[in-house]
Amino acid sequence: MYRGDLISRITATSMFAAGSRDLNLTSFNSADKATNLQRARTKVLEASKAGAKLIVLPECFNSPYGTQFFPKYAEKLLPSPPSSDDSPSFHALSAVAKEANAFLIGGSIPEYSPETEKYYNTSLTFSPSGALIATHRKTHLFDIDIPGKIKFKESDVLSPGNKVTIVDIPEYGKVGIAICYDVRFPELAMIAARKGCFALIYPGAFNMTTGPLHWSLQARARAMDNQVYVALCSPARDMEATYHAWGHSLVADPNAEVLAEMDEKEGIAYVELNGEKIDDIRRGIPIYSQRRFDVYPDISEGKVKYEE
């Protein structure tokens, strides 16, 4: 199920990095894509020099977050690999993954598909050789309306992805990858955990209303339900932007304890992820052997899509 020392590194409020012995989170993004890509490269290399071997960036790390920005910043990813003109972010991520000699979960970027004429919120994962090894299009779109607080409708521009994304990280094991609002749907997490994932990773950008209410709660709930590590990686907060991210990138352990939580600013935290802790928690609270699939179904054995 998991192999080796499970360790990661999170560069605080905008990037998640996991490495041989720790976890790391950080933050950046502006209105200038080239600046964002260069900032991402700097932070990825900083994390890798500190020993990170699995590095994760935040949702929409290359652009501002907002329906008005998605079309302007969208890149063509298909056919793969795209040209550097069609997707400078793809090539920047591939190059820095190779330079860092690390696995890189590239947060997410806006994607445009000429074939479907649709826009997506898409996460790309690269190997240390710079090869693309996983793609996840945000499965659940952020459509909410809290009177007097916030109204946001991603579906005005974006279309949803249609699959569960699990990627095998050599020497470590499997991780489940999803994006932001996906964390509110426990089915994705249950399926990934029951298929052997040791960690669930969510680049995300909760806001100033839902962040204080549910950001940490959702991470701890998914960790508790599945007895795995959960990492949420947010952009840092920019009060001059049109969308104010909550920040607070964090990692919860299989016992639902928060191992590290950043504030709203950019920073770096280091957390060790240990596979033995998963085993210990599951031995102490053996929900995996206590489930009653004679009473209710195992959704991981049902009709699950792993391909678009």
By annotation, the residues acting in catalysis are 59, 138, 180
**CB-based contacts of 163: which residues, under 8 Å, 6+ apart?**
136, 137, 139, 305, 306, 307, 308
* CB neighbourhood size of 152 (10 A): 20
114 upstream amide cis, omega within 30 of 0: no
Amino acid type, 134: A
Phi, psi of 275 (to 5 degrees): -60, -30
Give CA–CA dist 124/177, Å, rounded.
10
Q: Distances in Å between the alpha carbon of 21 and those of 53, 209, 253?
A: 9, 34, 15
Check: CB of residue 245 under 8 Å from CB of residue 65.
Answer: yes
Q: What is the DSSP letter of 215?
A: I
Q: How many angstroms separate the most distant Cα atoms in the chain?
A: 55
Question: Which residue bears the tokens 């033995």?
Answer: 276
DSSP SS3 for 268: strand
